[in-house]
Amino acid sequence: MTHAIVLIQAERTALPELGGLLADVPGVAEAYSITGEWDFAAILRLREQHDLAHVITEQLAQLPGIVKTQTLLAFEVYSRHDLDAMFDVGD
């Protein structure tokens, strides 16, 4: 499984609708409206690393109102949910 964070700058007019559009893209697990230099952060969870280029260049970057993206590829995932799932042997 490949995890990535995509930071997104958007046109001001796109802000109200873009979060919902991001969340609807297959592979986007979560989309956040954020403060600072970037307007949104999209959390991607993909089965294969080669799916990353397809999702970013053919789906995310084509959404109306996106000006710029920066992709951060995760090496390791640290979350309680992932750790619990790893050690869950079922009852």
- Quote the CA–CA distance of 24 and 52 in Å, as a whole number: 16
| Domain definitions of the chain by residue range | 2-87
CA separation for the pair 60, 63 (Å, rounded): 6
Question: pLDDT by residue (tens digit) across 18-62?
Answer: 999 999 999 999 999 999 999 999 999 999 889 999 999 999 988
CATH architecture of the domain formed by 2-87: 2-Layer Sandwich (3.30)
Q: Rounded to an integer, what distance in angstroms lies between the CA atom of residue 89 and that of residue 87?
A: 6
pLDDT at 76: 85
pTM greater than 0.95: no
Q: Which two tokens stand for residue 20?
A: 């919902």
